[in-house]
């Protein structure tokens, strides 16, 4: 009688772990890459060569700036945004940071920047922290 080598030893556990890592990695990537953009984007920010159209979404325990970034004059490979919560005196009391996914130029790149509010916020501001020109990978 022949024994099947792949059913015993280290191969099954190694292959099983690899399969789970692949499945979990794919699921995490799929979850992180799907940003739902609201139909109504009432806020506009013109930050030089980068223009943002976005909505402020306030949920219990989270405030998010969700929208799209556009750069009609140049190709942008990486962009970092920060969302600040400021109190009545203008002091920052909460903040969150996020990157715009992928590169964009005349097309738009989606973003979702979240913060945990402290309850002392009187207003929220979305600012551009970093812009890198060029195609992704350059």
Q: 15-19, 49-53, 65-69, 77-81: lowest mean pLDDT where?
A: 15-19
Q: Which residues pair with residue 52 across a beta bridge? A: 45, 69
Q: Position of tokens 């004059």?
A: 73
Number of residues in the chain = 138
Among residues 82, 106, 107, 104, the alpha carbon closest in space to that of 95 is found at 82
Three state DSSP letters for 96-119: EEEECCCCECCCEEEEEEEECCCC
Does the predicted TM-score (pTM) go above 0.75?
no
What span, in angstroms and rounded, lies between the C-alpha atoms of 44 and 1? 74
Using an 8 Å Cβ cutoff, are 125 and 65 in contact? Answer: no
- Residue 113, number of CB atoms within 10 A of its CB: 22
What span, in angstroms and rounded, lies between the C-alpha atoms of 119 and 124? 12
What span, in angstroms and rounded, lies between the C-alpha atoms of 48 and 128? 10
pLDDT (tens digit per residue) in 70-127: 887 777 777 889 999 999 999 999 999 998 866 666 667 889 999 999 999 999 999 9
More confident residue, 128 or 12: 128
pLDDT (tens digit per residue) in 6-44: 444 444 454 444 444 444 444 444 444 578 888 899 999
């Amino acid at each position: 009688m022949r024994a099947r080598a792949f059913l015993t030893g280290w191969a099954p556990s190694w292959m099983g772990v690899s399969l789970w890592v692949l499945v979990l990695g794919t699921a995490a990537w799929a979850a992180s890459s799907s940003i739902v953009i609201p139909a109504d984007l009432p806020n506009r920010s013109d930050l030089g060569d980068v223009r943002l159209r976005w909505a402020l979404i306030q949920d219990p325990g989270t405030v998010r700036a969700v929208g799209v970034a556009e750069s009609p004059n140049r190709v942008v490979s990486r962009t970092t945004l920060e969302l600040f919560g400021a109190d009545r005196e203008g002091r920052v009391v909460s903040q969150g940071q996020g990157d715009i996914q992928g590169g964009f130029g005349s097309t738009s790149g989606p973003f979702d920047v979240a913060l945990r509010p402290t309850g002392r916020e009187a207003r929220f501001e979305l600012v551009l922290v970093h812009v890198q020109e060029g195609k992704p990978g350059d």
